[in-house]
Copies of this chain bind each other. A is one copy, B any other.
Amino acid sequence: MSVTQFCSVVLTVILVCAMLTGSQIPSIQEGQSECPILAEHAREIEKYKPIARKIIDFFLSGDMKGRTYKNLNNFVDNYGPRMLGSSGLRRAVTHVYRGLKRHNFSNVRMEPVNIPVWVRGTESATLLKPRLQRLSMVGLGDSVGTPDGPIRAETIVVRSFKELEALGDKASGKIVVFNQEFISYDESVSYRLNGAIAAAKAGGVAALIRSVTNHSLLTPHTGLMYYQKGVPKIPGACLATEHADLLHRLYQRGEGTPPTSLHHSLASPHHSCGLIVHDELSAGKKLVIQLQMGAHTIQNKTSNNVVADLPGTSLSDKVVLISAHIDSWDIGQGAVDDGGGLMIAWGALVGLKRLGLRPRRTLR
């Protein structure tokens, strides 16, 4: 589904919600496969079919065709990354505010919000032993840094939380690398979110997590991470999948076990039989990584929500909220997260206004 198609679908759903009569909309139960819409609502929704058609046509083949995508492209090109506290975000917020003003929406306003701002600072991770290799890494949002200077520590590599637990106190004082299998974002992201907690509980001094992705060109992915009350806050960062695999192989060879990732591709058992086998190059060798992160958090900074209304008619005190976040991570442009959402929400309001449609409830 293209951004434009998605926009028209979202808009249609929103409009139907905003137009419905005042009765309560039943909540959808998890796992419920039947459509939970009451018969009276179904009849009412049916009446909006021509309007829904009009909206869809307006976005798919009318004046709005390709607009949302084009606006999104312009937006991210012009403002780029929009980290909390960045000039890019400030400029983007002002832009959204002015745009809504220019389109004569009601109650266009900035809502100041007090936020903690996480600052990445400079950062690097370098494999020092068994050989020198600058690692492709990126710090995780909300991570603490290494304010007392780089952490230089022996490193262990595990495939899972379970494997870490099984090591007992072997992780104590060490950097813990999680080279977890990628199952799905929802499942595997748990390592990014909770890796630093698990590593700290095991006595680790930092957590390096395989990027939560199944596709990489030495590309580390960032995202949020968590801390837990009572557990020491240790730095957390993601590694490109290739480097997580590299560390895992070197670690396993150092421990005298054949690399599992190679096992997958080789049917024959591990034996040297007089050939050129270099495993002895790594045998017994420890991994040492140096981690430097300038990450820190500044409290009590101010940013702004931007709010605008398309006032409802008979039920204008009831509000249907269309929302998206303007800010983004710093290492991309936030085109999908959440520039697309922002432009869809914006396009929905503008599209309705241009079609001269006004719902019963206020769209905010």
Binding site for B on A (CB under 8 A): 63-67, 69-71, 73-75, 77-80, 87-88, 95, 99, 103, 130-133, 215-219, 246, 249-250, 253, 259, 262, 265-268, 273-279, 281-282, 332, 346-347, 350, 354
Contact = CB atoms under 8 A, between A and B. Distances in A.
B70 A266 contact: yes
B219 A262 contact: no
Contacts of A274: 354
Nearest to A246: B77
15 contacts: A63-B275, A65-B267, A66-B267, A67-B276, A69-B266, A71-B275, A71-B277, A77-B249, A77-B282, A78-B278, A95-B278, A99-B276, A217-B217, A219-B219, A276-B350
Given A78-B281, A88-B131, A278-B71, A66 B219 contact: no
Contact of A279 (B74, B268, B275): B74
Given A219-B219, A281-B74, A275 B65 contact: no
A278 B332 CA distance: 20
Contacts of A281: 74, 78, 95
Contact of A63 (B88, B130, B262, B273): B273
Nearest to A282: B78
A7 to B, nearest CB: 13
A346 B276 contact: yes
Given A277-B70, A278-B74, A79 B131 contact: yes
A285 B133 CA distance: 41
Contacts of A267: 65-66
A354 B275 CA distance: 9
Contacts of A77: 246, 249-250, 253, 282
A249 B73 CA distance: 10
A217 B253 CA distance: 30
A41 to B, nearest CB: 33
Given A71-B277, A80-B132, A276-B347, 10 more contacts: A70-B266, A71-B275, A74-B278, A74-B281, A78-B282, A80-B133, A88-B131, A217-B217, A218-B219, A218-B332
Contacts of A218: 219, 332
Contact of A217 (B95, B216, B354): B216
Contacts of A80: 131-133
6 closest pairs, A vs B, by CB? A74-B278, A66-B266, A217-B219, A217-B217, A78-B281, A71-B276
Residue among A78, A259, A332 with max Cβ neighbours from chain B (10 Å)? A78
Contacts of A69: 265-266
Nearest to A64: B275
A221 to B, nearest CB: 10
